[in-house]
């Protein structure tokens, strides 16, 4: 069995930001237009007026201050409220592949590798922009990688679940160097007209290179000590968009065809699941939570991460579990990878860390790493 390491990570940051103030202004403008249009129904009690959103609520409830997006004008247009993206020809690189290649090039450069060194590509994300061919195969071709690629989706846990597949492939010798990309174009799949969730997500792409320890081109690597995945079915985070919508004669733009959640229930149920999962994984490896120098946690909610850390360590600190959601919002599977990418350079040889995702499914994935 080969020893396996993370030899590079990469980040693609979209060109536009939307602040909470911009978001709330657009939402409230939309609400006013709708409430005026439907004034008589609201007056008769047949329908409720759409309530305003607020910057104070968003920051207090989530810790999010802004998000990156691929397109901004469509989202902030009160008569539209979703991105305005150009359809591309079949011959052009798709948007998911394009941002994947950008993040991958960043990871490859840091690892001192070329696209041709990669022999397995995993595109792991919460939404795929088409059914087939797989985005991973498109990325494989664009980078000049060999071997094979496939797409996989475990919502917010897509990246950690892909890491276990990569580790197993490299450990067993079926691949030498695996590229994981997490292109999360969440802005096309959230409901910007629902104040309960319009602030939650942002677009981004991350990449992780996983390879055999004896083939690395850099000494700046993280040994993967163990991976642990778990799922437990829940409808509390759900999206019914799918290829059967037309055949079912259901409304293809209905509210259930975009992201929706019972946020309170998710918070309450997922925190204990994540804490027990991390504790069990560490115990299996002969470690205690206190021996872990840093936790790179899923980035959904500031309070949620603080509670996870308090339950693990007795206290929360940004140093032990850095937050990136204030700048990026929830970027689904990419969140814990962004945190790892931005906040790992200060750790010393031998320091232990945990990358942990939790989200829809429910799904939880933890990856325990040691600085080389
Ligand atoms: N402005 C003002 N008031 C608001 C707003 C708003 N924008 N939104 C809601 N309110 C109101 C509510 O209506 C409610 O009013 P009332 O008390 O009168 O009913 C009040 O504020 C409180 O609302 P909540 O109880 O909903 O507020 P919370 O404190 O629970 O905060 C959160 C809401 C922030 C959503 C919080 O519950 C949370 O973060 N929960 C965790 C959620 C989570 O981790 N989800 C993971 C999902 S991510 C994932 O798994 C990936 C899925 C796939 C990605 C797909 C990409 C598109």
User: Is 156 part of the annotated catalytic residue set?
Assistant: yes
Q: 93 in ligand 1 pocket by Cβ < 6 Å?
A: no
Query: Candidates 125, 263, 266: which one to mutate for ligand 1, based on the most atoms within 8 Å of Cβ?
Result: 263
Query: Which atom from ligand 1 is nearest to the alpha carbon of 24?
Result: 7
Look at residue 263 and tell me if it is in a domain. yes
Per-residue pLDDT of the chain (372 residues; tens, 9 = 90+): 889 999 999 999 999 999 999 999 999 999 999 999 999 999 999 999 999 999 999 999 999 999 999 999 999 999 999 999 999 999 999 999 999 999 999 999 999 999 999 999 999 999 999 999 999 999 999 999 999 999 999 999 999 999 999 999 999 999 999 999 999 999 999 999 999 999 999 999 999 999 999 999 998 999 999 999 999 999 999 999 999 999 999 998 999 999 999 999 999 999 999 999 999 999 999 999 999 999 999 999 999 999 999 999 999 999 999 999 999 999 999 999 999 999 999 999 999 999 999 999 999 999 999 999
- pLDDT tens, position by position, 49-101: 999 999 999 999 999 999 999 999 999 999 999 999 999 999 999 999 999 99
Q: Where are the alpha helices (DSSP H) in 218-301?
A: 263-284
Q: 261 in ligand 1 pocket by Cβ < 6 Å?
A: yes
Distance 262 CA to ligand 1 centre (A): 7
pLDDT of residue 2: 84
Residue 130: half-sphere exposure toward Cβ, Cα within 13 Å: 15
Q: 201 in ligand 1 pocket by Cβ < 6 Å?
A: yes
CATH number of 244's domain: 3.40.47.10
Q: 160 in ligand 1 pocket by Cβ < 6 Å?
A: no
Look at residue 174 and tell me if it is in a domain. no
β-partners of residue 211 are: 5, 177
β-partners of residue 184 are: 204
Look at residue 339 and tell me if it is in a domain. yes
Distance 140 CA to ligand 1 centre (A): 37
Contacts with 334 (C-beta within 8 Å, 6 or more apart), sequence order: 159, 182, 184, 204, 205, 206
Look at residue 180 and tell me if it is in a domain. no
Residue nearest to atom 47 of ligand 1 (CA): 359
Q: Looking at 123, 156, 177, 356, which residue is catalytic?
A: 156
Residue nearest to atom 31 of ligand 1 (CA): 61
- Angle of helix 263-284 versus helix 302-313 axis, rounded to 10: 30
Query: Which atom from ligand 1 is nearest to the alpha carbon of 258?
Result: 57
Instruction: Indicate the number of domains in the chain.
Output: 1
Count the helices and strands in the chain (H runs, E runs).
11, 13
Look at residue 32 and tell me if it is in a domain. no
Distance CA 226, CA 341 (A): 19
Distance 194 CA to ligand 1 centre (A): 10
pLDDT of residue 154: 97
Looking only at the bridges linking them, the beta strands covering 237-238 and 260-261 are: antiparallel
Look at residue 343 and tell me if it is in a domain. yes
Query: Which atom from ligand 1 is nearest to the alpha carbon of 259?
Result: 57
Look at residue 161 and tell me if it is in a domain. no
- Cis? peptide before 361, omega within 30° of 0: no
Which residue segment(s) compose the domain that 345 sits in?
222-371
Residue 253: half-sphere exposure toward Cβ, Cα within 13 Å: 4
Look at residue 352 and tell me if it is in a domain. yes
> Closest Cα to residue 305, out of 289, 288, 322, 293?
322
């Amino acid at each position: 069995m080969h020893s396996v390491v993370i030899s590079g990570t990469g980040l693609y940051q979209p060109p536009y930001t939307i602040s909470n103030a911009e978001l709330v202004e657009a939402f409230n403008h939309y609400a006013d237009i709708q409430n005026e249009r439907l004034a008589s129904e609201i007056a008769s009690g047949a329908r409720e007026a759409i309530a305003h959103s607020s910057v104070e609520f968003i920051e207090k409830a989530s810790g999010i201050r802004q998000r990156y997006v691929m397109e901004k004008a469509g989202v902030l247009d009160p008569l539209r409220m979703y991105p305005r993206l150009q359809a591309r020809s079949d011959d052009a690189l798709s948007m998911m592949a394009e941002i994947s290649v950008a993040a991958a090039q960043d990871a490859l450069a840091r690892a001192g590798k070329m696209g041709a060194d990669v022999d397995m590509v995993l595109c792991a994300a919460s939404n795929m922009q088409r059914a087939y061919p797989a985005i991973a195969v498109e990325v494989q071709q664009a980078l000049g990688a060999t071997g094979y690629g496939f797409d996989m989706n475990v919502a917010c846990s897509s990246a950690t679940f892909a890491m276990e597949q990569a580790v197993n492939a490299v450990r067993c010798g079926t691949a030498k160097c695996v590229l994981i990309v997490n292109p999360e174009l969440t802005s096309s799949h959230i409901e910007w007209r629902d104040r309960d969730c319009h602030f939650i997500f942002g677009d981004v792409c991350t990449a992780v290179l996983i390879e055999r320890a004896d083939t690395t081109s850099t000494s700046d690597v993280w040994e993967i000590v163990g991976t642990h995945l778990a799922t437990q079915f829940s409808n509390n985070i759900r999206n019914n968009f799918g290829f059967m919508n037309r055949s079912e004669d259901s409304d293809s733009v209905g509210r259930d065809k975009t992201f929706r959640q019972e946020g309170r229930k998710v918070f309450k149920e997922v925190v204990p699941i994540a804490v027990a999962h991390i504790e069990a994984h560490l115990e299996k490896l002969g470690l205690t939570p206190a021996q872990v120098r840093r936790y790179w946690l899923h980035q959904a909610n500031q309070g949620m991460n603080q509670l996870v850390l308090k339950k693990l360590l007795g206290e929360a600190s940004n140093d032990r579990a850095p937050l990136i959601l204030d700048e990026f919002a929830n970027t689904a599977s990419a969140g814990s990878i962004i945190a790892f990418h931005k906040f790992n350079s200060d750790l010393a040889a031998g320091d232990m860390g945990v990358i942990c995702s939790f989200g829809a499914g429910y799904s939880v994935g933890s990856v325990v790493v040691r600085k080389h």
